[in-house]
Amino acid sequence: MSISTEIIPRAIPGLPSREVLAVLCSAHSYEHHKQNRVGISHFIYRPTKRRGLFKKRGTSEPLALIKFGTHVTLGEARTQIYVFQHLKRDPSPPFRVAEVYDAWEERVGGFIVMEYIPGLAATAMDGPRIAAAIHWLLALPPPDDGKLGPVGGGPMRHSLWRDDEGPTYESVEQMDTHLNNVLKYQGLTVNLSADPICFYHDDIDLRNFLVAGDHLYVIDFEHTGFAPASFMSYSLIGAFLAALHVHRTERQPAMLVAAAVVMQEFHSRYYWHWKCQSSALLHNFQRHRPLVNPARLRGMVLGITEPEIGSTIAQSIRDGGLERALVVCEYEKLDEISCAGPTWVWELKDGEITK
């Protein structure tokens, strides 16, 4: 059975019209900027109520959350609806998503009106649940129309591109042609046609996960969609390095080649296992984040649990600007140097990587 992502405004008692909500968002943004000198893209709508005939008007509980701005698109709304509908069919989903009540675009930007979820930002202790959520998303079947990027098509929001916004691709072949035209100046090529199409989430950050009671929510779908699996590999490597405070890693097409190698070299049975382990790997380093020096490092020793990705991680560290590093994995596949047996080591020295 196909999933409908058509945006049909849902009548919510007490929720005003699109026009009124747009005015309220604009006023809220203006006041926030006036007081804080920074912009804002979210508005919590609380309907007013009377406490009595002559008493002061008060406010009710939050009724909806409105995300708005030039960066908000119908593609984001359709993707959130698509995930929401699939979660409804899962008898035991590992996470939840706020229901979309309405969405539209105007000349000044887009608006997504959704269910308000009271909760707290996730912490590193929620890592296993976040890993389970990412694993579930990676197994999400792509839409029947075969369009890349957000559900229903449109420009891809992904950190591979400058300002996070890429072209609209009609096919993987068109994507290959475009990327290889860029990569040829570096003597590189990529063949994304060998990848399966899967869901990508390019903003894996604790602030995009919310804990409400016993439930975990994924709350931002701006940088999500469907693309060749190497795009998700690229995102996981980026999030992995961000957790290590490797600030100088530049997002560039060449890094996609490394991601594609990881995806395609271990395709079929190992492919799904690697994706699950990558999510768990990210969690482990998020948990140990306070132990990592936040300065711009010149060198490091880094433990991994999958020797198959050792070379790729070492290359990514080199691309991030580090001068000297050791990537290690003991034979029992623990992220440390073994004191009782052999250890895999990838050494970065003078720009060269040796195993």
The torsion angles phi and psi of 78, rounded to 5 degrees, stand at -65, -40
Contacts of 76 (CB under 8 A, 6+ apart): 110, 112, 150, 157, 221, 222, 224
Q: What percent of the chain has pLDDT over 90?
A: 38
Predicted confidence (pLDDT) at residue 274 exceeds the cutoff of 60: no
The torsion angles phi and psi of 72, rounded to 5 degrees, stand at -90, 130
pLDDT on residue 251: 44
Amino acid at 38: V
Beta carbons of 7 and 152 less than 8 angstroms apart: no
Predicted confidence (pLDDT) at residue 276 exceeds the cutoff of 60: no
Q: Are strands 299-303 and 324-330 parallel, antiparallel or unpaired?
A: parallel
pLDDT on residue 110: 95
Can you tell me the distance from the alpha carbon of 333 to that of 314, in angstroms, rounded to the nearest whole number? Answer: 17
Retrieve residue 158's tokens.
């992904």
The string of pLDDT tens digits covering residues 26-55 is 999 999 888 888 888 999 999 876 555 545
| Residue 301 pLDDT level (bands cut at 50, 70, 90) | confident
The string of pLDDT tens digits covering residues 3-14 is 666 788 888 999
pLDDT on residue 213: 92
pLDDT on residue 3: 66
User: How many other CB atoms are found less than 10 A from the CB of residue 238?
Assistant: 22
Strand partners, 227: 198
Residue with tokens 């132990």: 291
pLDDT on residue 182: 77
- Chain-centre distance for alpha carbon 274: 17
111-115, 265-269, 270-274, 290-294: which is most confident: 111-115
Residue count of the chain, please give it: 355
pTM: 0.69
Predicted confidence (pLDDT) at residue 65 exceeds the cutoff of 80: yes
First to last CA, the chain: 50
* Pairwise pLDDT comparison (152 vs 161), residue with the higher score: 152
Can you tell me the distance from the alpha carbon of 273 to that of 176, in angstroms, rounded to the nearest whole number? Answer: 26
User: What is the average per-residue pLDDT within 123-152?
Assistant: 88
Q: Quick one: which of 280, 286, 338 has its CA closest to 309?
A: 280
Strand partners, 188: none
Q: Are strands 57-59 and 42-45 parallel, antiparallel or unpaired?
A: unpaired
Can you tell me the distance from the alpha carbon of 99 to that of 108, in angstroms, rounded to the nearest whole number? Answer: 24
The string of pLDDT tens digits covering residues 332-341 is 778 788 887 8
Q: What is the Cβ-side half-sphere exposure of residue 12, based on CA atoms within 13 angstroms?
A: 22
Amino acid at 214: D
Residue with tokens 């020797």: 307
pLDDT on residue 250: 44
pLDDT on residue 57: 52
Q: What is the layout of strands, in order, in the sheet containing 109-114?
A: 42-45, 64-69, 109-114, 100-106
Beta carbons of 335 and 244 less than 8 angstroms apart: no
